[in-house]
Amino acid sequence: MPNKKIVIVTDSSAYIPPEAQEGLNISVIPLWLLWEDKSYQDGLDIFPAEFYRRLKESKTLPTSSQPSAQEFADFYQKVLSDADAIVSVLVSSKISGTIASAEAAAAEHPEFGVRIVDSYSSAMGLGLTVLAAARAAGEGRSVDEVVAAAENMRERVNTIFVVDTLEYLHKGGRISGGKRLLGSALNIKPILHFEEGQIRPLSQA
């Protein structure tokens, strides 16, 4: 009996470089960006270069939103037209409602047989976990083995980053107002990381 064809579904916050995805079966569902009464699908209607240009010029700040459960259901159904199973590796549930939507879609459509993995990260912390799953799928591993490959990578990934200002993390609800004011007053450049799926301070400079 031939092995199942497994596709890895992730969300657009992974930002995996195209060259890293070459030869791998990865499908990306876009997150939504809401800006000045308009909605944009990340990676389809708006791209990072344009986003950062507009961020400097705009008087209003954008907000983001996860795909709805119905959008996930439609996306999964489309993907399954050319696959036998889905392993969905997504942005941390502690900073986004994306996994909640994916779980709702999977519960509504158990026939899809979707397996969902919380990366507890974002950006390339998520991306590396996605790539590990996709490589395992490309090697013909079973669904359980693909999930295990993702979970193993998740435990070994540490995402550390620096921001120039705490303003956007505060306005996006990622850190408290007190931390923002302290950081701004002292010109502190925080070194942040993901810990248990949440953005937390690691050090400062």
Q: Is this prediction's pTM over 0.75?
A: yes
Q: Please tell me the predicted confidence (pLDDT) of residue 55.
A: 84
Which element (helix H / strand E) includes 109? none
Angle, in degrees to the nearest 10, between helices 69-79 and 98-108: 60
77: tokens are: 């159904």
Instruction: Report d(CA 187, CA 200) in Å as an integer.
Output: 18
- Residue type at 113? G
Which residue do the tokens 């550390």 mark?
Answer: 160
**Length of the chain, please?**
205
Which is nearest to 65 in space by CA: 25, 118, 29? 29
Residue 56 has what pLDDT? Answer: 84
The pLDDT value recorded for residue 13 is 96
**Token pair of 204 as six digits:** 């400062």
| CA atoms of 17 and 32, how far apart (whole Å) | 20
In order along the chain (205 residues), what is the average pLDDT of each group of 10 residues?
82 95 96 93 92 86 93 97 96 96 97 97 97 97 97 96 73 53 60 90 80
pLDDT digits (tens, 9 = 90+) for 28-55: 999 999 998 899 999 999 999 999 898 8
pLDDT for 60: 84
How do strand 26-29 and strand 160-162 relate by DSSP bridges?
unpaired
What local confidence, expressed as pLDDT, does residue 61 receive? 83
pLDDT of residue 186: 60
The pLDDT of residue 181 is 46
pLDDT at 178: 44
